[in-house]
């Protein structure tokens, strides 16, 4: 097999369909750091770190990363660790990265994603084949309604239901009365058939406040309640008091976190990311722990561009436990725009083809690597010059 010889990083900014916010987020979405890996046989692999300074673990357990910290960590440390690694040897890649620098999972995830893409392209196989094979060919998509006014949220929910979107996540965790009113408005606008879940991003101040809001939403029939408060112990308090399943997101970065969640019975659902544990290689370890404990999962993310979305689709396709609807944007470059908004957060994307999105599901792409080629002209177009 060839060896990795080149590591390049660059920043892009994709145009958004609308402002997308969640509790705690202070920066625009769609400004990730991209990684381009090359090997000595001329193959290329792409990865993405949708890093945000506002996104970390509970009580300072994991620090925020940002595109600029990821670029610095890669150029000063991780590039040295990955150059010379045999293409396809992800175990060695992670061992070397972890020996070089502790933490920085988003920087490691970008390199992991690019390394899988490179391995697939070098071998002529899809990444899902390299990861052990897909257990599903299509991924159920949950559309995220960010923090917005009641009127805007209801209008978006009505459009989504008319398009046939099956599941909506509503961002909450701002103010209890506002949150209750918005979620009820979304239920009224979307009708009874659409699944609705809520994500507070740790925003409710106490378990009591979270419990009160969820009880006030009994009529909405929430599919689950995502990260109502900060902290595994406090999550457990909420989980004991409400009927709806609790999903851990900010509390669940890696396999060790999930062991603690199991021990404390803090959540019935875990949201797995490609990025939080440091890449697909580590995400499958999270999935294995969840599987062993009977925890149900989805794949979630940070509203990635097409590069990261392809990795998330691959994870959802191979991880048996990822049976719930996934919050993965539907990548649809501008030339394929068709007026639909379900799963759409950007007005353009970085791929040569659009995701196939029908009946609420994205088809897992076939073909080498992640299955859809990156559009380098689009990357040049949206590149941020520093």
Closest separation in Å from C-beta 101 to Mg ion: 26
Instruction: Catalogue the E-assigned strands of the chain.
Output: 4-11, 33-39, 44-49, 138-140, 142-145, 167-171, 195-199, 222-226, 246-248, 269-272, 296-299, 357-358, 361-363
Point out the residue whose Cβ comes nearest to Mg ion.
249
How big, in percent rounded to 5, are the helix, strand and coil portions of the chain?
A: 40, 20, 40
For 97, which DSSP code? H
Minimum distance, C-beta of residue 271 to Mg ion, in the bound complex (Å): 6
Are 158 and 190 within 8 A, CB to CB?
Answer: yes
* Distance between CA atoms of residues 147 and 197, nearest Å: 14
Residue 377 beta carbon to Mg ion: minimum distance, rounded to whole angstroms: 33
- Residue 170 CB, nearest approach to Mg ion (Å): 12
Rounded to the nearest whole angstrom, what is the least distance from the CB of residue 202 to Mg ion in the complex?
9
> Which residue's CB is nearer to Mg ion, number 128 or number 201?
201
Residue with tokens 């419990």: 211
Our finding on whether 209 is near Mg ion (CB under 5 A) is no
Using the minimum distance from each CB to Mg ion, give the nearer residue, 202 or 375: 202
Measured from the CB atom, the residue of 126 and 298 that comes closer to Mg ion is: 298
Bridging pattern class, strands 296-299 and 269-272: parallel
Tokens 């009224």, residue?
Answer: 188
Site string for Mg ion, 171-200 (x = CB under 5 A): ----------------------------x-
Is residue 304 within the footprint of Mg ion (CB under 5 A)? no
Least distance to Mg ion, CB of residue 294, Å: 21
The smaller minimum CB distance to Mg ion, of residues 81 and 286, is found at 286
Nearest CA to 23 among 203, 230, 178? 203
Cβ of residue 45: shortest distance to Mg ion, in angstroms? Answer: 28
Using the minimum distance from each CB to Mg ion, give the nearer residue, 146 or 371. Answer: 146
Pick 327 or 374: Cβ nearer Mg ion: 327
Cα dihedral 293→295→300→306 (10° resolution): 70
Considering CB under 5 A, how many residues would be counted as binding Mg ion? 2
What is the rounded distance in angstroms from the CA atom of residue 378 to the CA atom of residue 380?
5
- Decide: is 48 part of the binding site for Mg ion (CB under 5 A): no
For Mg ion, the binding residues in 84-123 under the rule CB under 5 A are: none
Give the C-alpha separation, 117 to 126, whole Å: 8
Ranges within 231-290 binding Mg ion (CB under 5 A):
249
Chain residues binding Mg ion by CB under 5 A are 199, 249
């Amino acid at each position: 097999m060839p060896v990795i010889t080149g590591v390049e990083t660059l920043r892009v900014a994709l145009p958004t369909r609308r402002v997308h916010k969640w509790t705690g987020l202070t920066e625009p979405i769609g400004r990730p750091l991209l990684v381009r890996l090359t090997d000595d046989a001329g193959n290329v692999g792409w990865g993405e770190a949708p890093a945000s300074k506002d996104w970390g673990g509970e009580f300072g357990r994991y620090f925020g990363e940002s595109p600029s910290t990821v670029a610095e960590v890669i150029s000063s440390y991780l590039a040295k660790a990955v150059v010379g690694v045999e293409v396809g040897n992800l175990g060695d890649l992670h061992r070397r990265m972890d020996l070089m620098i502790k933490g920085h999972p988003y920087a490691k995830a970008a390199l992991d994603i690019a390394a899988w893409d490179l391995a697939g392209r070098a071998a002529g196989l899809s990444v899902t084949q390299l990861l052990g094979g897909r257990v599903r060919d299509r991924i159920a998509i949950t559309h995220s309604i960010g923090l917005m006014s009641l009127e805007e949220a209801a209008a978006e929910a009505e459009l989504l239901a008319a398009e046939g979107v099956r599941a909506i996540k509503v961002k909450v965790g701002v103010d209890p009365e506002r949150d209750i009113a918005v979620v009820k408005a979304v239920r009224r606008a979307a009708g009874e058939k659409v699944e609705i879940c809520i994500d507070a991003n740790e925003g409710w101040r106490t378990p009591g406040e979270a419990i009160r809001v969820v009880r006030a939403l009994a009529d909405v029939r929430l599919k689950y309640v995502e990260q109502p408060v900060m902290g595994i112990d406090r999550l457990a308090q909420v989980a004991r008091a409400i009927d709806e399943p609790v999903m851990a997101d900010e509390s669940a970065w890696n396999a060790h976190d999930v062991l603690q969640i199991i021990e404390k019975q803090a959540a019935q659902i875990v949201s797995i990311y490609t990025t939080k544990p440091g890449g697909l290689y580590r995400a499958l370890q999270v999935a294995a722990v969840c599987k062993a404990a009977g925890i149900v999962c989805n794949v979630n993310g940070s509203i990635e561009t097409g590069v990261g979305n392809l990795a998330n689709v691959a994870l959802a396709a191979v991880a048996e436990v990822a049976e719930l609807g996934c919050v993965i944007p539907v990548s649809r470059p501008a030339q394929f725009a068709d007026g639909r908004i379900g799963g759409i957060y950007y007005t353009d994307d970085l791929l040569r083809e659009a995701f196939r999105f029908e009946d609420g599901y994205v088809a897992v792409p076939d073909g080498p690597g992640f299955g859809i080629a990156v559009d380098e002209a689009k990357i040049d177009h949206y590149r941020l010059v520093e």
